[in-house]
Amino acid sequence: MKALVFHTFGGPEVLALQEIPDPELKAGTVKVRTGAIGLNYADIYRRRGNYHLVGQPPYILGYEGAGEIVEVASDVTGFGVGDRIGFADVPHANAEFVVVPADRAIKLPDGISYEAAASVLLQGLTAHYLVNDSYKVQAGDMVLVHAAAGGVGQLMIQLCKAKGARVVGLTSSPAKREAALATGADEVFLYGDDWVSSVLAWSQQQQAEGVDVAYDSVGSTLMDSFKAVRMRGTVVFFGMAGGDPQPVDPRMLMDTSKTLTGGDLWNHVTTAEERNRRAGSLFADMLEGKLQLVEPKTFPLADGAEAHRYLESRASTGKILLIP
């Protein structure tokens, strides 16, 4: 099979399409011919050597995708050859074939394409647990979403609006501001401005002194997020795209009765049942038109290096897919 591989850590130029042996089917797994593969920033970190990789070169990136089952291990039930499935946490996905543990395979309903599944699963499952578990968004809540034009940000905006919340977003450029507004945000401010004052002023127009919850995936903005939430408000910290956060003084939490909580997807999809329940909710919202995806930017798998350059440029506002 052909796979996008690299032998040394470095820039996008280390990636190359190479012919390697097909992966071997193991007990408890299915072999999938990939139809679409999601590209995520974690792939950039792994290519650079920032994340630990197991094994020896050639390394294969990719953890998210969708495709058709072509082989099923004898001990697997509930799946058959020809089934369409998606997955969100299976290594070595940047290839024509990938072996998927059966408990991580998610059947795709009619109407959900491979491209749609590969666009929504990782980021959609993240958005789903954030607005339902880390902080349970309810009708009337005021929600601040960092990186509102990103994949997770756009999905969070829609999920929050569907619950009846009011959403204010933060983006890094006017173009991204327009993208977040088009997704459904009530207001969007730019990071380059005094955004804390802007968010507080916006909340005051809603007769409040700060938002109910801030979802912070930037990290370096964490203390400003606390300034933007009301007394007894909540900050959900789930990423460090802009750098490590400052230490949080617990006395500040006590004095303001504010809550800090963290979020990691893999603590919320620990079983096949949980994975399928959340994915099923996302698929239902998509099929009913409640959740709209931005048209993904696609690259042939052979052009994986170019796809990495595009993602690193921070110019993208939607999902990037690799197509075998």
Domain match, 14 and 65 both? yes
**Claim to verify: residue 54 and residue 22 sit in the same structural domain:** yes
- In terms of residue numbers, what domain contains 187? 139-262
The per-residue pLDDT for 318 is: 75
Q: What is the CATH number of the domain that holds 115?
A: 3.90.180.10
Residue 314 in domain: yes
Residues 32 and 96 in one domain: yes
Answer yes or no: do 282 and 258 share one domain. no
Domain identity same for 143 and 31:
no
pLDDT of residue 310: 94
pLDDT in tens, 20-78: 999 999 999 999 999 999 999 889 989 998 887 778 889 999 999 999 999 999 999 99
User: What confidence tens digit (pLDDT) does each residue in 251-292 have?
Assistant: 999 999 999 999 999 999 999 999 999 999 999 999 999 999
Per-position b or e across 142-174, b if 16+ CB within 10 A of its CB: bbbbbbbbbbbbbbbbbbbbebebbbbbbbbee
Task: Tell whether 128 is covered by a domain.
Answer: no
In a shared domain, residues 93 and 182: no
Instruction: For residue range 205-218, list pLDDT tens digits in order.
Output: 989 999 999 999 99
Overall average pLDDT of the 122-143 stretch: 97
Whole-angstrom Cα distance, residue 30 to residue 98?
Answer: 8
- Give the pLDDT confidence score for residue 313 in this predicted structure: 86
* Largest separation between any pair of C-alpha atoms in the chain: 63
Confidence of residue 237 (pLDDT cuts 50, 70, 90): very high
Residue ending a domain, among 209, 227, 262, is 262
Total domains in the chain come to 2
Output the pLDDT for position 65: 98
CB 114, CB 66: distance < 8 Å: yes
Q: In the β-sheet with 259-262, what is the strand arrangement from edge to edge?
A: 187-190, 166-171, 142-145, 211-216, 229-237, 259-262
Single pTM value for the model: 0.92
